[in-house]
Structure 1
């Protein structure tokens, strides 16, 4: 099922067991922020990006090394070198994503990001080292920026896909098929939002963090509550602005976010996460956040 009908989606989703696959990744991959700077193409539709003079390349590298060290303590984590011609490459989850036994390559909207999809080293890692089958969506004409646009409940096989200039309806259909999902809900992001994973995180298939201002239709928040019950956690505007919605569970017990997001969490949000069975881990990423994304955007998942 892939639909805009929220009631039909919720009715179907509530019949599904959490037996689709592992709820969290078995490994992660990163791309270093080499020659970190403003990507002017991407800035056209990413309101979270800072001005060019706010970019600090040395600090971004230091933060990214800290992220790599921290994640490596939780699960195997590999880091590919950055490409100086691809300043957004630090956010690889938009371009490369995985499902069991396969690697999906996305179609990026902006030319500066389309070159990331041609990287032979990353393709070779998945195809030649892991022996994953490749599903290449990068050459077709419909934007589909993978797990930036499509937030996936891996336990149930559910997709929550926000449409924007970074993902159109045909691109959403292509991703639904490539990931082999049971059901995907299509909805419009609010004006000014570019990726779903900035305003929504599904955590290990049993909880969600959602930023209401990120959705054009408030009924999506209601749908999350019907699927995840008391563990559908609504974030405040301040938490949203601090990238608390850009979080990821890398084990069934731990949710990761940036130090800025962690500091912005309201006591009620911390309690709700604890009630859902999650500890919060964080690392400083203020320099990287100048590029308009945060911790979840940096993390590619290997399933």
Structure 2
């Protein structure tokens, strides 16, 4: 099923057992922010991106290395070299995604990001070293920025796909098929939002972080929160602006977010995460957040 009908989607979702696959990844990879600077093409539809004067490439590299060290304590974390010709490559989850036995290459909206899909080293790692089959969506016409646009409940095989300039309906269908999901809900993001994973996170298949501010229709956000209740963390506008929605569970008991996001997290929401079985781990990523994304955007999961 792939639909815009929230009622039909959640009626189907409630019949599905959490047996689709592992709820959290077995490994992850990053791309170093070498040559990190403002990408003017991407800035056209990313309101979170800072002005060029606020970019600090050396600080971004230092923070990124700290992120890799922290993640490596939990699961194998590979880091590929960056490239000054692809200043947004620090956010590889938009370009590469994996599922059991396969990897998907997305179609990026902006030419500066389309270059990332051509990287032979990442393709050789996923296809050669891991022996995953390739599904290449990068040369077709419809934008589909993978797990930036599509938030996935890996336990149930559910996709929650936010439509914007970065992903249209056909792009959502292509991702749904490529990842072999059981059901996908398509919904419009609010004006000014570019990726669903800035306003929504599903944590290990049993909790969700939802920012109603990021949805064109607040009823969709409420329906998602209702589905994951009582483990639904609903963000305020201040938490939303601090990237608290751009979070990720790399294991069954920990949610990761940036230090800025964690500092903005309301104590009640932190308590709700604890009640759902998650401790919060945070990493300082202020320099990287100048690029318009945060911790979850930096992490390409390997399932």
Give the number of equivalent residue pairs. 303
> Which residue of the partner structure matches residue 195 of structure 1?
195
Q: State whether residues 10 and 226 of structure 1, in contact with CA within 8 Å, keep that contact through their aligned partners in structure 2.
A: no
| Alpha-carbon distance, 1:222 to partner | 2.1
Runs of 4+ in 1 over 2 A off after TM superposition: none
> Which residue of the partner structure matches residue 223 of structure 1?
223
Cα distance in structure 2, aligned partners of 1:74 and 1:206? 19
Q: Which stretches in structure 1 are left out of the alignment for 5+ residues?
A: none
Q: State whether residues 45 and 192 of structure 1, in contact with CA within 8 Å, keep that contact through their aligned partners in structure 2.
A: yes
Q: Say whether residues 1:122 and 2:122 are aligned partners.
A: yes
| Alpha-carbon distance, 1:92 to partner | 0.1
Cα distance in structure 1, aligned partners of 2:47 and 2:230? 31
| Alpha-carbon distance, 1:152 to partner | 0.1
Q: State whether residues 212 and 222 of structure 2, in contact with CA within 8 Å, keep that contact through their aligned partners in structure 1.
A: no
Q: Say whether residues 1:40 and 2:40 are aligned partners.
A: yes
Query: Which residues in structure 2 correspond to 1:170-209 (within 5 Å)?
Result: 170-209=170-209
| Alpha-carbon distance, 1:226 to partner | 2.9
| Alpha-carbon distance, 1:225 to partner | 2.5
| Alpha-carbon distance, 1:140 to partner | 0.1
| Alpha-carbon distance, 1:220 to partner | 1.2
- TM-score w.r.t. length of structure 1: 0.99
Q: Say whether residues 1:110 and 2:117 are aligned partners.
A: no
Cα distance in structure 2, aligned partners of 1:128 and 1:218? 43
Query: Which residues in structure 2 correspond to 1:74-85 (within 5 Å)?
Result: 74-85=74-85
Q: Say whether residues 1:244 and 2:224 are aligned partners.
A: no
> Which residue of the partner structure matches residue 29 of structure 1?
29
What's the RMSD between the two structures over aligned residues? 0.5
Cα distance in structure 2, aligned partners of 1:283 and 1:53? 23
Q: Say whether residues 1:289 and 2:289 are aligned partners.
A: yes
Q: Which stretches in structure 2 are left out of the alignment for 5+ residues?
A: none
Cα distance in structure 2, aligned partners of 1:112 and 1:244? 27
